[in-house]
Amino acid sequence: MSGHTDNSIVIDAPMDLVWDMTNDVESWTTLFSEYSVAEIIERRGESVRFRLALHPDENGKVWDWVSERTPDPVSRTVRSARVETGVFKYMALFWEYTEVEGGVRMRWVQDFEMKPIAPINDEQMTARLNTNTAVQLQLIKEKVEAAAALKLAS
């Protein structure tokens, strides 16, 4: 078995602003509520290798990992994968940005499989990711729309 999530949100902001803000990995600790660290390790062309860390969980454990992300500004898509997989056998992500009525539809797809040693299985992680992704997408929407309103006002 493997896990799969497919979530999206429409952000009422110009494409370039949505693209720039959501692909600025260094700012992810302010864009997302879940990250305490977003550290760039290496850049190669459009690709960036980076470390993310979550805020401590209820037991005080900090989960962190290294991922690589390659945005394609022409197709307005991003492919990403965990390099240090941790409790995952693999984790691949795909982001897609599409101009729609009302703004930009940002779609976030995650495909993964948990290792047998993981504290939860694929089905449980799918539910956890679907719940958290909705929260994060709403936060991103609010922050990008606020930035767009500020630009419009100035």
Q: What is the CATH number of the domain that holds 119?
A: 3.30.530.20
Global model pTM greater than 0.85: yes
- 93 forms bridges with which residues in the sheet? 80, 110
Place 151 in a pLDDT band, splitting at 50, 70 and 90.
Answer: confident
Percent of all residues in the chain with a pLDDT value above 90, rounded to a whole number: 92
pLDDT of residue 24: 97
| Coil, strand or helix at 87 | coil
Residue 57 lies in a domain: no
Residue 37 lies in a domain: no
Percent of all residues in the chain with a pLDDT value above 70, rounded to a whole number: 99
pLDDT, tens digit, for every residue of 85-97? 989 999 999 999 9
Q: Is the pLDDT of residue 1 over 80?
A: no
- Domain range for 74 is 3-24+67-153
Residue 100 lies in a domain: yes
| Coil, strand or helix at 60 | coil
Q: What's the domain count of the chain? A: 1
